[in-house]
Structure 1
Amino acid sequence: MREWADLDVEVDADGTQRVAVKGPLTISSIGVIDHQFRELEGNVAHFDLSGVTDMDTAGAWTVFRATRRLGSPIVGASAKSHDLIETVASAASEAPMRPEDKPLLHRVFGEAGETVLEMLAGAKNVIAFLGAVLISVGDIIRHPSRFRLKAVVRQFELVGVTALMIIGLMSFLIGIVVAQQGAAQLAQFGAEALTINLTGRLATRELGVLMTAIMVAGRSGSAFAAQIGTMNLTEEIDAMRTIGVDPVEALVIPRILAAVVMMVLLGFYSIVLTIIGGATISSLTLGIPFGSFLMRIQEVVPTYDLWVALIKAPVFGLIVAVAGCYQGMQVRGNSEEVGKRTTMAVVQAIFAVIVLDAFFAVFFTELGWA
C-alpha cells in the first residue's frame, strides 16, 4: 500500500508555526502535501524534516519552494535530504515562468528581420549547392571515367519507367475531362467539332508537360529529398566524403540527369495519352470517329506547340531534381527534418514549375508562338 507524506503543524500562543514533515517526500507521494505547503501562511519558525523517511528531487524542490517563500529554516534533515535540497537550491532561478511580451512593433520588425536573414541564408546555400553541382559536372566532363552510368540508368528506371502507369492513367483521364467539358461548353455555340482543337492544343502546349512535372515532383522529387536526407541523417554522406567519394557526383548528378531526360520522354508520352483520352470520349459521346480525331489533330495543332512543350520539359525536370536533391542535402538533426525537407522539396518544385510555366507562356507568346 502506498505511503503518503503528511504535514503536522503546531501553532504557539503568539501565532508562530512549527511545521513537521513525516513520511516519504517523493514524486509519487507528495500530491496532498504539496497543496498543504502552498496553503501555509504567516510566521513559520522552521520546517522539521526529521520524520522524512525518503526524499527525491521532486520532494526536495517542494520543500525548498515552501521555505524560500516563507523565509523559514530547515531542521532535522538527513545528509541525503540536505544534499538534495542544496542541489535544488543551487539550480533555482528567479526567471519568470513566461517571458514578457515584447511590444507589437518590436515583434513585427524582429520577425521580419529573422525572415529576411533566413531567406539570405537560404539563397547562399542554394548558390553553394548549384556551384557544387557545376563543379561536379565539370569534373565529369574532364574525367569521363567518373561518370556513373549504372546509377543514371537506375534513376532512369525509377523516375521514368516506373512512372509510366500512373502518368499514363492521369493523362488519359485528363484528356477525357478536357474533351467532355470542352464539348459541353462549345455545344452552346454549335461548335462541338472544335473540341479537337481545344483538346489537342491544350494537351500539347500546356497540360501534358505541366501535369507530368507536378506528378514527377510529387513522386520523384520527394523520393530524392527523402533518400538523400536519410543518408545525410545516418551519416552515409559523411562516410562517402571520408573515403573520397563526392556525394554530389555520386547522388545528385545521376538524379538530375535522369529527371531532365525522362521529363522530355514522359512529357511527350503524357501528351499522346491525353489526346487518346480525348479521342476516346469524343468517339463515344460526340460521334467523332477515333481515327478522324487523331487525323484532325495533325491539322489543328501547329508543330511549334510540340516544340514549346519539349523545351519546357527538361527545364521542369531540372527544377524538380534540384529542389529534391538540395532539400535532401540540407537535412540535419533528426528524422522529423526528413519529412519537413521532403514537403518543402515538393512544394518548392511545384511552385517553381507553375511560375516558370507562366513565364514561358508570356515568352513564347512574345515570340509569336501563340
Structure 2
Amino acid sequence: MIGETLHLNRLVKRYDETLAVDDLNLTVNAGEFVSVLGPSGSGKTSILSMVAGFERPSSGEILIGSRNVTQLAPNDRDIGMVFQKYALFPHLTVRQNIAFPLKLKKRWKERWRSRADEMLELVQLASFADRLPAQLSGGQQQRVAVARALAFEPPLMLMDEPLGALDKKLREAMQIEIKRIQQSVGATILYVTHDQEEALTMSDRVAIMKSGRVVQIGTPVELYRAPKSMFVADFVGRMNFLEGDRLFTKEGGQQIRLSENTVLTMLADCGIQTDSSGEEERVTIALRPELIGIEARKERKPNRIPGVVEHSIFMGPHNVLIVRLSLPGRPAVEAQIPHFSSVEPFESGQEVDVIIEPTTLTCFSASERCAA
C-alpha cells in the first residue's frame, strides 16, 4: 500500500464575503477511495484546491500521514494529481511522460525507466510506450495521466473530474479501470465530481456537500438506501416525494394519510427523520422509482394508490412510467418497470394502481422541504 491517511481538520475557506468551505472535518483513510460529491458552488473544488496547495485555507489544517502540509507549496506535498485535461506533454512519448516526475526525485533517478515500464504494465499500455499522446485515444491518455500520477508512489492522489471529457461508454469503462488500479497499489484517493453515478460506482465512501459543509458521508449503499435528509435523498439517485400526514394508532402502529381515501400502512418508523412525538405530523415520504410496483387497476387494496399512466418511455432494460396519481394536487411519480416477456407493457392513458411496499419508504418532516 502506498497511500497515507488524509486529515482535514476544521477547514475554512473564505473568498471575501463568500464562505466556500465551512468548518470541514474529513478523514480519508490510507488506501481508501473517497469522493466529494455536490452541486455547483457546494465547496468541493475549494477543498481540492486547498489540499493540493493551490489555495491557502482561511483557517484549519491539512495533514497527510503525520505531516502538516497546510502551509507547504504544492511541489513540496508529494501529491499525485489527475485532472479533466490530461496535461500530457505532446512532444514526449508515453514512457517519457510517465517518467517526467520520476526524474525530478532522487529516489527514482537511477531507475526511472524500469519504474515507468512497471506503470505501463499496470495501466495495460506497455505496447504504447513509444507513442506520442496524439496517437492515443482519450481513455488511453487518461490512463497515462493516472500512471504518471502514481509513478512516484505519492501518499495521496487528487482527481478532479478526470473523466468529464470522455463519452459515456468510455467513461464507464474508465471508472472500473481507475478503481482496479487504485486497489492494486493501495492508493489513497480524494476524488471530486458532480457525477453521482461516477461517485457511487468508484468510491469506498462518498461525502455529500451542501453550502460548504458535508451533510452526510457514508458508503454508496448507505447514502442510497438511508439518506439522512431530503437534500441527500433528492441528490443521490432519482426519487419521488409525496406529502401526507403521519398518524399514530392506538396499537402503536403508524400510517401515512395521503388523502381522505388513501392511507399507507407503515412498518416500524420507516426510517423516519422527524422530531414530532405527537399523534399527527405532516411528513414527506420518499420513494425510489425502482421500488414502486405498477399493476392494472383492480379492486381497492391496502398500500395502493390509483393513477393514470401519462407517459411510458422505453429505456432498454426497463420502461420509465410517469403516473399521475388520484391525490390532492394530482402529483406524478416516476416508476421503473423491468421488461418481462410475460407482462404486457403499460400504455399512456391506462388506469393503474401504484403499489407501495411499507419497507421501501423513507419519511422526512415536511418542514424540511420548505427549509430547502
Q: TM-score range by the shorter chain?
A: under 0.3
Normalising by the residue count of structure 2, what TM-score does the alignment of the two structures yield?
Answer: 0.22
Q: Which structure shows the higher strand fraction?
A: 2
Normalising by the residue count of structure 1, what TM-score does the alignment of the two structures yield?
Answer: 0.22
